[in-house]
Structures are given as C-alpha cells and as structure tokens.
Chains A and B, each alone.
Chain A
Amino acid sequence: MLRFLLRRSVSTLLVLLVLSAVVFLLFYATPGDPAILACGKGCDGERLAVVRHKLGTDLPLWQQYWHFLQGLVAGRDYDAGTDVTHCAAPCFGYSFQTDQPVLGMITSRLPVDVSLTLGAMVIWLVVGVGTGVLSALRRGGITERLLTGLTLAGMSTPVFLIGLLLMMLCCSWLGWLPFPQYVPFGDDPAAWASNLVLPWLSLALITAAAYARMTRSSMLETLAEDHIRTGRAYGLSERRVVTGHALRGALTPVITLLAIDVGGMLGGATLTESVFGFDGLGRLLVDSVNHIDLPVVVGVTLFAAFFIVLANAVADVLYAVADPRVALA
C-alpha cells in the first residue's frame, strides 16, 4: 500500500509538472501580449513596461515558468516598483484584470461545481445502474427494448439541450420550479436543493445513459461467466445469483468510471453552468478565455487537471479494494 501511494504520488506529480509546462507554453508562447490586456485602456509605453515587469512577461519563457512553479510551492510577489502584490503559498497566478489571486477565484466557485457534481452523481448512479441492471435481466423482453431506446435517446441529448428544454418545460410553461439560481447550501439548504434539481437532472441524464449502457453490457458479460453457471448448478436462487454474485462483478468497472467522471466534473461542468447561469469553474474559464485573462485560464486548466489525476489515483485504489485479484503495486 505504502509502495503504491509513493509510486502514485510521484507519477501524479510528474504528470502535473508535464501538464503545467504544456499549458504554460501553450498560453504564454502564443501571440498577443497579456500585458497589454492587463494594462487596460489608455496604456502608454512606460506603464506597459511596468506591467510587463510586474507580470514577469519581460523575462524569458523558461524563467516565467520557473517563477510560476516557485509561486506554487512558496508563494510569490508581483513587484510593480511602487506596489508589491503578494500571492500566498499555492500561488496559481494573479489576475490583474480582476485584481485577485487566481486560487481565490477558483475556490470561491468550487462549491457550485461540488454541489452540481455530487447531486447529479447520485441521480445518474441510481438511474443509470438501475436501468442497466434491469435491461440486462429483462434481456430480450419489451422492457429491455424500451430501456435501450431510452438510453440511446439519453445519450443523444447534449447537456445544454436537455437543460434548456427542462427549463422551458418546468419553469416557463408549467411553472413548477423557479428559474434556477445558485443558493449556497449554508444559506438555505432547501432553496439550494430546489434550485439545483434541474441542473442535476440535465447533468445526470447523459451520464446516466452512458452508465446504463456500460452496466448492461458488463452485467450481461458477468451473467455469461462460468461461475454464474456454477451458482445455478448448485441450487442458488436466481435472485441470489444476481445479487450475490453477478452484481458485484458487473459493478466493479463502474467504480473506475465514476471516479473519473466525478473528477472531470469537479473541474467545471461548463455547459450546465452556462445553461443555468451558475458561476462555477467552467464559466470562469469561458469568461477568462473571452477576456484573455491568461493566468486564470492556466490556473483553472491546471486545477481541473489536478482533479482528474487525483480521480485516477482514487479509481485505482477503489478498484483494488473492490476486486481481490488486483494488487496495488
């Protein structure tokens, strides 16, 4: 276990390092001077030089990257000669357009994505896995055909599409729900939940469809395995065979998928946020792309990547826990 954790941490760090270098290069080596944008309107040459110095863009690229890494580990100061802006320890950069440290911008929006992801996860797990198992058990019947049809339809409905339609239906025409607006959980849990119902549903639907498909095929595969036949040949009831033996094998692959999906969504459920006008990480990214606020773009991208890499490691651990044949090494 220790060996695994150590190996995994080292490789995670390496991946993040490579990734940060790629992201950094991509965004800072491209034409377009971030300093001009940061400087704002009515910027003259002298002021531009100051801003450049403050941003560090007057240095060679590799030095900029080095400073960025230093900032991540030890924090960093942006020195504009007259005023010094300090950015504390895990410094993901500093947005001069909004005059905030990037990390603060990210953490203030994170609750939105956590709320969205966790709620949706519950729905897609229940709906997706339930549908998958049911259609595997009802193989060849009308139920299966119906569920397969629904699953295909679900897979073919992009998040923003279902979000829009749900909003039209539930809020505009039927008036069942208010137009969603993010309310922090701490302020009012009931309002938090009722406002999140539609976003959860839209985010969950397409994922649920994917899970249903995967669960179905993995369930069918498990049901065809010899040890299931053994269970039947030894007089176990069909129910026992399914719940005791087939489900476990069928659901193990779902764990991996789940960890990775959750990791991906925590880094920004961009489309859902956009449809419902929630200010999450995804919107932050889109906005900063549109304003070419590069430190934020780099920060959010890296942050999302961090979640994914973490999720992969978690998935490996969970998988090893679930499947006795897999040893962590």
Chain B
Amino acid sequence: MSETATVSRPAAEATEPRRRGQVWRRLRRNRAALAALGVIALLVLFALAAPLLAGLEGQDPTTFHNDLVDSATGGVPFGSFGGAGAHHWLGVEPGNGRDVFARLAYGARVSLAVAVGATVVQIALGTLIGLAAGLGNRLADTVLSRAMDLVIAFPELVFAIALMAIVPDGFPRPVLLALVIGVLGWGSPARVVRAQVLSLRGLDYVSAARLGGSGRWRIARREILPGLAGPVITFALLRLPVNVASEAGLSFLGVGVRPPTPSWGQMLSTATTWYEVDPAYVLLPAGLLFVTVLAFTVFGDGLRTALDPRAASRLRVGTRRRAKD
C-alpha cells in the first residue's frame, strides 16, 4: 500500500489479515456494491431454488398450455400482461403457453451456470497460460504472447457461432456453451496474469529468493502466486457479466441453448416476433438479464476499487511522490 510504504508504525500490530479487513471495510462503505451483492445473492437463490419455486407455483418450464393462448391470432396469451394470474404468476409464453415464471427461473440456472462455467474455464486457462508465459523462457513467452494477441483480437462471437456449428448434436449444449465461451476468452486473463507475473518477477524480492536458493517452483508458489490472487479475482468477477451476456447473445442468435431447455436469450429471440402484442414477454427476460449483468458489473467494479484504492486517491497535486510497489 503506497500510503503506508514509508511510514513506520511501531505500535500497530497490523498483519496481513488486517489488509484483508481493510478491503472489506472499504467495500462495505460502497453502497452500490453492497446492493449489487444483495441482488447477486437473490439471483443465485432464484436459480438454485428454481424447481422449488416452480413447484410452489405449481408449474414446470416445459409443459405446453395451448388452451391459454389464442390460436386465432397465432398464439397471443389470453388476458392482460401475457396472461399473468394466480396459476401463471408471470403469464405464459405466446405461441405454446409455457409458464414464463418457471422458464425464467430455470433460465437463470442456465444463464448463471454457463457464465460461471465459462469464467472458470477462461480464468483457469488464462492463469495457466499466463503463468507459463510469465515464468517460462523467452521462446515460450513469445509464442504464448502472440497466441494471446490472436485470441484477444479475434471476434469471439464469430468464432463461437462457427464452433457451435461443428459439434455433434448429442453434446449437452450448456456445457458446450461454457466450453466455447471459455476457450475463446482466455486471452485477456492470460495477458493480465502474464503482466502481473512479469512485474512481480522483476521485483527484488524474487531475485532475493533466487539467491537464497529457492527453486523455480518454490518461488512461483511462495512469492508469485499469492500476488496474483487479487487481480485474478477481480478479473473473474468483471468477466462474469460479460459471459452472461455472451450466453444470452448466442442463444438469442439460435446457436446457443436449444429448446426445450429454457434460456433468457432464447426467450428474447422468440420475443422479437411478439413484442407488439405481448410486451411483457420481452420486458421480463430483458429486465432480468439487465439486472444480472448490472449487478455483477457494479460489484466487480466496487471490489476492484476496494482492492486498489490508489486509483481513487492518486490525485493530490503538489506533494505527489512516486510509489514503487
């Protein structure tokens, strides 16, 4: 922490846990981030409890209710607000009358699971490759860095669409989605990790460990890895909402999750043809998607600021001294 770098505080028995405490304290003061955390918790609960909630409502996400839609108009739900009522809390889908609430809840599972899965794949691959580039020899670094540049530069969506095409139908789509989004997205985490490793590796304490006779792996484990946790966690959190949006986008394009498995993107895709007569059917998944992405973004952002308050306190004209940590 730059502000304490040259100040000695003999009396304080500050230790590492204290730094963690500081992060939490800073985060707790950020009301937006706290609210976002609350929303995230609710969303996770919503997804986890999907069968329970649907059971409570007495519906399931796949049963057609042709009696609830007007076949004369091509399937507009009877009643206002997309046919919402005591039996179907948020109405039914136009066309085939499936229960919207149940589909949203089950859709949340798909959405979050795919996003989390994709993020895990991205971060795992990224960390491994970034570490290999940062710690490896010059050749490995050059090759891997070029690969990172390539992967980052290329239009993820184009490749994802193309990749989704060539995998046989039998493969479970959500898993496939997570893999595809994950495999195409390791570039930037790898770059972040590599940059961090390189900057850590250049520090004198790593040199000192080398002189002390610590081997390559011991140095990686004891001196470098702990320094990666912060940036990697922040990165993962900020990556999650992007992946939620990616899944929705692919499903929206019809190359993602396939019916009957529900997904928000897919619902929005169907909704494009219905929004004039059944706006509720657009607004519900749209709102949910927006709130999810927003909540993760705000929280990730808050955590980043809490971990690196320098960005916030850097502007002080006059007595600025360059901090070297």
Contact = CB atoms under 8 A, between A and B. Distances in A.
A156 B161 contact: no
Interface in A285-317: 285-286, 289-290, 292, 297, 300-301, 304-305, 308-309, 312
Nearest to A271: B249
Given A285-B158, A308-B154, A312-B153, A274 B253 contact: yes
B279 interface: yes
A15 B150 CA distance: 8
Given A267-B158, A271-B249, A224 B320 contact: yes
Q: What 7 pairs between A and B have smallest CB-CB spacing?
A: A156-B294, A289-B165, A156-B293, A30-B166, A158-B245, A308-B153, A304-B158
Interface in B288-320: 289-290, 293-294, 297-298, 301, 311, 314-315, 317-318, 320
Which of A160, A165, A271 is most buried by chain B, counting CB atoms within 10 A of its CB?
A: A160
A305 B155 CA distance: 7
B271 A297 contact: no
A50 B158 CA distance: 32
Chain B contact surface mostly: helix
A304 B155 contact: yes
8 contacts: A158-B249, A164-B286, A167-B275, A224-B320, A260-B153, A268-B158, A271-B252, A289-B164
Given A15-B150, A229-B317, A309-B153, A172 B276 contact: yes
Given A153-B294, A156-B297, A301-B162, A286 B155 contact: no
A290 B294 CA distance: 32
Contact of A155 (B272, B279, B297, B318): B297
Contact of A289 (B255, B279, B293, B297): B255
Which of A157, A158, A301 is most buried by chain B, counting CB atoms within 10 A of its CB?
A: A158
Contacts of A224: 314-315, 320
A164 B268 contact: yes
Nearest to A263: B153
Interface of A: 15, 18-19, 23, 26-27, 30-32, 139, 152-153, 155-161, 164-165, 167-168, 172, 217, 220-221, 223-224, 226, 229, 232, 260, 264, 267-268, 270-271, 274-275, 282, 285-286, 289-290, 292, 297, 300-301, 304-305, 308-309, 312
A271 B157 CA distance: 9
B297 A168 contact: no
B153 A165 contact: no
B294 A152 contact: yes
B161 A270 contact: yes
Bin the interface of chain B by size.
35 or more
B286 A161 contact: yes
Contacts of B320: 224, 226
Interface in B272-291: 272, 275-276, 279, 282, 286, 289-290
A56 to B, nearest CB: 19
A297 B271 CA distance: 27
Contacts of B311: 217
Contacts of A156: 241, 290, 293-294, 297
Nearest to A30: B166
Contact of A168 (B282, B294, B318): B282
Contacts of B162: 23, 26-27, 285, 289, 297, 301
Contacts of B21: none
A286 B150 contact: no
Interface string B154-172: 1101110111111110000
Contacts of A226: 320
Contacts of A26: 162-163, 166
B248 interface: yes
A26 B161 CA distance: 13
Given A152-B297, A289-B165, A308-B153, 18 more contacts: A30-B166, A152-B294, A155-B297, A161-B289, A165-B286, A168-B275, A168-B276, A168-B282, A172-B275, A220-B314, A229-B317, A229-B318, A270-B158, A271-B253, A282-B157, A285-B158, A289-B255, A308-B155
Interface of B: 149-150, 153-155, 157-159, 161-168, 241, 245, 248-249, 252-255, 265, 268, 271-272, 275-276, 279, 282, 286, 289-290, 293-294, 297-298, 301, 311, 314-315, 317-318, 320
Contacts of A15: 150
Nearest to A173: B279
B150 A268 contact: no
A232 B315 CA distance: 14
A234 to B, nearest CB: 14
A141 to B, nearest CB: 14
Nearest to B292: A156
Given A156-B293, A158-B245, A286-B253, A275 B272 contact: yes
B255 A161 contact: no
Which of B159, B161, B297 is most buried by chain A, counting CB atoms within 10 A of its CB?
A: B161
B24 to A, nearest CB: 22
Contact of B317 (A153, A232, A292, A297): A232
Contact of B161 (A164, A275, A289): A289
Contacts of A267: 155, 158
